[in-house]
C-alpha cells in the first residue's frame, strides 16, 4: 500500500466519511425488514443515475460515437434493476448477503492487490480500463468473498442450498465485473470520479449529498459492485423461487 497515500488528506477524508457511511448502513440494516437501508439505496441509486446523466451531457461525451453508448445504457439498466431488487424483492437476509459479497470482494481485492500486485503475474487484467487492478487482487477478492459468504451464511443459520451455492460461486466474479463496468463508463466519459459533474453544477441538493462521498469518487463508485450483485441475487431468487 502506498504510504504517502495513507498520510494524505484524501485518505483521511475517505476514512472519516467511510466510517460515517458504514455506521449509517449498519444502523439502517437493523431496522425492521431493513426498510431504512432500502430507502438509502434508492437515494444512492438515484444519485448514481444523476452522476451518469451529468457526465453524459458534457461536450466530450457528445463527440463520442453512438455505438459505445450501449455500455453506459447498460449501467443505467443495472442501477434501475438493483433499486427494484433491493427496494421491493429481496428479503433482509438477501440484502445482507449482497452487501457482504460486494464489499468483501472489493475490500480483499484492494488490500491483497496493494500488498501483492505484480508479485506473481506480470500483466494486468484490464490495463486500459482499470490499470490499477491486478490478477493478485482479483484472486484475493474472489477467495475473500467466498470465505466471507460461507461464514455469514453459517452465522445466519441459512442452509447451503443449490441457489445459495450458485450465489457464493458467482458473486465475486459478478462483483468484480460491476466494478469494471463502472470503470469502463468513467473512462468512456473521460471523468476521474463519477461525482465530478454534479460538483461542477448548480444542483444544490445533490451537491450536498455528494459531499458524503468525499474521497470516495461518487455514489456510482460505491454502489457499482453492490448493484451488480443485487441483480445476480434477484435473478437467482426469481428463477428458483418465483413469487
Lowest-confidence region among 40-49, 59-68, 133-142, 160-169: 59-68
The segment with the largest mean pLDDT, out of 51-55, 65-69, 168-172, 182-186, is 168-172
Q: Which residue in 179, 197, 225, 183 sits closest to 56, CA to CA?
A: 197
- Say what the pLDDT of residue 35 is: 95
Per-residue pLDDT at 2 exceeds 60: no
Return the domain boundaries, the chain. 3-240
**Residues 78-137: pLDDT tens digits?**
999 999 999 999 999 999 999 999 999 988 988 888 888 777 777 877 777 777 788 898
Question: Cα–Cα distance between 12 and 74 in angstroms, integer?
Answer: 34
Lowest-confidence region among 8-12, 31-35, 90-94, 194-198: 8-12
- Say what the pLDDT of residue 150 is: 97
For a pLDDT cut of 90, what percent of the chain falls above it? 43
Residue found by looking up cell 453459517 in the block:
154
Helices (H), 30-134: 35-56, 59-62, 69-84, 92-116
Query: Do 90 and 238 meet the contact criterion of CB atoms below 8 Å apart?
Result: no
- Say what the pLDDT of residue 155 is: 94
Residue 200: pLDDT band by 50, 70, 90 thresholds? low
Instruction: Give the CA distances from residue 196 to residues 51, 182, 187, in Å, rounded to whole numbers and listed in that order.
Output: 8, 14, 13
Per-residue pLDDT at 174 exceeds 70: yes
Residue found by looking up cell 463508463 in the block:
185
Hey, what's the torsion of the CAs at 103, 106, 107, 108, to 10 degrees?
120
Question: Cα–Cα distance between 233 and 168 in angstroms, integer?
Answer: 10
Instruction: Give the CA distances from residue 49 to residues 17, 33, 92, 193, in Å, rounded to whole numbers and listed in that order.
Output: 21, 25, 24, 14
Model confidence, pTM: 0.84
**Distance from the Cα of residue 92 to its chain's centroid:** 19
**Residues 32-62: pLDDT tens digits?**
999 999 999 999 999 889 888 887 776 444 4
Mean pLDDT of 184-192: 78
Q: Is the dihedral of CA 24, 210, 96, 16 positive or negative?
A: negative
Per-residue pLDDT at 158 exceeds 50: yes
Amino acid at each position: 500500500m502506498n504510504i504517502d497515500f495513507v498520510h494524505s488528506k484524501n485518505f483521511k477524508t475517505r476514512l472519516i466519511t467511510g466510517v460515517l457511511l458504514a455506521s449509517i448502513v449498519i444502523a439502517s440494516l437493523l431496522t425492521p425488514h431493513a426498510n431504512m437501508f432500502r430507502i438509502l439505496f434508492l437515494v444512492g441509486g438515484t444519485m448514481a443515475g444523476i452522476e451518469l446523466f451529468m457526465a453524459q451531457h458534457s461536450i466530450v461525451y457528445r463527440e463520442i460515437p453512438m455505438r459505445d453508448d450501449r455500455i453506459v445504457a447498460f449501467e443505467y439498466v443495472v442501477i434501475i434493476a438493483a433499486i427494484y431488487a433491493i427496494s421491493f424483492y429481496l428479503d433482509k437476509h438477501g440484502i445482507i448477503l449482497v452487501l457482504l459479497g460486494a464489499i468483501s470482494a472489493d475490500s480483499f481485492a484492494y488490500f491483497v492487490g496493494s500488498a501483492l500486485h505484480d508479485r506473481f503475474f506480470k500483466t494486468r487484467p484490464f490495463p486500459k480500463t482499470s490499470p490499477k487492478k491486478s490478477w493478485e487482487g482479483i484472486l484475493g477478492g474472489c477467495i475473500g468473498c467466498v470465505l466471507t459468504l460461507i461464514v455469514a451464511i453459517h452465522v445466519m443459520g441459512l442452509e447451503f442450498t443449490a441457489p445459495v451455492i450458485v450465489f457464493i460461486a458467482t458473486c465475486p466474479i459478478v462483483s468484480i465485473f460491476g466494478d469494471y463496468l463502472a470503470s469502463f463508463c468513467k473512462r468512456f466519459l473521460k471523468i476521474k470520479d463519477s461525482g465530478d459533474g454534479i460538483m461542477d453544477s448548480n444542483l444544490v441538493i445533490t451537491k450536498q449529498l455528494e459531499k458524503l462521498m468525499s474521497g470516495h469518487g461518487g455514489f456510482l463508485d460505491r454502489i457499482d459492485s453492490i448493484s451488480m450483485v443485487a441483480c445476480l441475487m434477484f435473478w437467482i431468487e426469481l428463477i428458483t423461487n418465483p413469487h
